[in-house]
Amino acid sequence: MKCVLCEASTDTVLWQDDHLRVVYVDELDYIGYCRVIWNAHVAEMTDLGDADRAHCMRAVYAAESLLRTLLKPDKINLASLGNFVPHLHWHVIARFRDDAHFPQAIWGTRQQASAAPRARGVALLQQLRQGLVHQMGP
């Protein structure tokens, strides 16, 4: 069966090593949306050993803390679903009270026709990249 997360993708990679990659998800409604994708095709956190699990969460927490620092969101949403794509990945999403789906999950019912767009640009990507290197290593 084909798996989109096993295939080479066009994602904007912010940081990666042999085990995982942190990518920026370019969503119109969400300026602060990262995904931590485990490279090997496993479905669940408990498919990983303790060290790998800790490494995966370290990347999730690094992305979370950077989004908090850089964007000052009202809330961070962390989600690991994988019902459609059973390949271990975490969504790390900065949420704002005036975003398109708040207080629903971003996959829930849209609450507003259009959320106020926020400037992001290249600076945010550079800051995320630098911050991840700082927290995770080169």
Tell me which residues touch Zn ion (CB under 5 A): 3, 5-6, 41, 87
Shortest Cβ 24–Zn ion spacing (Å): 20
Shortest Cβ 9–Zn ion spacing (Å): 11
Shortest Cβ 57–Zn ion spacing (Å): 19
Question: Do 31 and 124 form a contact (C-beta atoms < 8 A)?
Answer: yes
Shortest Cβ 20–Zn ion spacing (Å): 13
Return d(Cα 132, Cα 138) in angstroms, integer.
8
Beta strands in 10-125 (DSSP E): 12-16, 20-24, 33-38, 75-79, 89-95
Residue closest to Zn ion, measured at CB? 3
- Nearer to Zn ion by Cβ, of 84 and 113: the residue is 84
Interior/surface letters 32-52, b for 16+ CB within 10 angstroms, e for the rest:
bbbbbbbeeeeeeeeebeeeb
Length of the chain: 138
- Nearer to Zn ion by Cβ, of 70 and 86: the residue is 86
Number of continuous H segments (helices) and E segments (strands) in the chain: 2, 5
- Nearer to Zn ion by Cβ, of 27 and 47: the residue is 47
- Nearer to Zn ion by Cβ, of 6 and 45: the residue is 6
